[in-house]
Amino acid sequence: MAHAEEAHDANADVRSATESALRMLTGREHSTSELKRKLTARGHARAAVDRVVDGLVDRALVSDRRFVEAFVHGRVERGQGPVRIRAALRERGVDDDLIEDAVTQSAAFWLERIERVRSKKFGARPLALDRGAWTRQARFLSQRGFPSDLIYRALGDRD
C-alpha cells in the first residue's frame, strides 16, 4: 500500500513539475540548468525534475542552443558586450562550448556594437580627446561588458 502511494506521489510530482516547466517556457526560453534549478526551488523532487527536463529536451521543447541564441541576441540588442554576456550565461549553467560558439564574433561586429552603444550614451560627436571624457567612456563601455582591447580600438589612445 505504501509503495502504491509513493508511486502516485511521484507521478503527481512529475505532472506538477511538467505543468510548472511548460508555464515557465511559455514566457521565454530557459537553459536546462536554469529550468532544473527553478523547478527544484519550487519544491519538486530532484528525480521528477530530471525526468521532466529530460523529456522536454527529447521533445525539443527545451534547447540550450536555442536558449543561448535568443539570450545572446537579446543582450547584444540591449548593448551588452561579450564579457558580460559570457558571465550571465555561465551563471545560468550553460556549457562553455555553447557560450563561445554564440559569443565569438568578428572584431568588426563588436566594434560596430561598441560604437552604437557609445554614441547612444555620449552622442554622435567626434570622440573626445581629453583624458576625463575618454576615461568616462571607457569605464561605461567596460561596465557594459566590452573588453579593454576593443575599448582601446574604439576610443583610440587616451593621450
- The pLDDT of residue 130 is 82
Lowest-pLDDT choice from 1-10, 14-23, 42-51: 1-10
CA distance 29 to 68: 9
The model's pLDDT over 59-114, given as tens digits with 9 standing for 90+, comes to 999 999 999 999 999 999 999 999 999 999 999 989 999 999 888 888 899 999 99
- The pLDDT of residue 12 is 82
C-alpha cell at 26: 511559455
Q: Is 159 exposed, middle or buried (0-12, 13-18, 19+ CB in 10 A)?
A: exposed
- The pLDDT of residue 125 is 65
Q: Which amino acid is at 102?
A: A
CA distance 96 to 158: 34
String of b and e for 80-97 (b: at least 16 CB within 10 Å)? Answer: bbbbbbbebbeebebbee
- The pLDDT of residue 128 is 54
| Domains located in the chain, CATH noted | 2-62 (1.10.10.10), 65-103 (1.10.10.10), 107-155 (1.10.10)
- From the list 73, 78, 80, 67, the residue with the least C-alpha distance to 27 is 67
Over 50: is that where the pLDDT of 1 sits? no
The model's pLDDT over 130-159, given as tens digits with 9 standing for 90+, comes to 888 889 999 999 999 999 999 999 888 765
- From the list 31, 98, 64, the residue with the least C-alpha distance to 39 is 31
C-alpha cell at 133: 571624457
- Where does residue 49 fall: left (phi above 0), alpha (psi -120 to 50 degrees), or beta otherwise? alpha
Q: Which amino acid is at 40?
A: T
Between these two residues, 116 and 124, which has the higher pLDDT value? 116
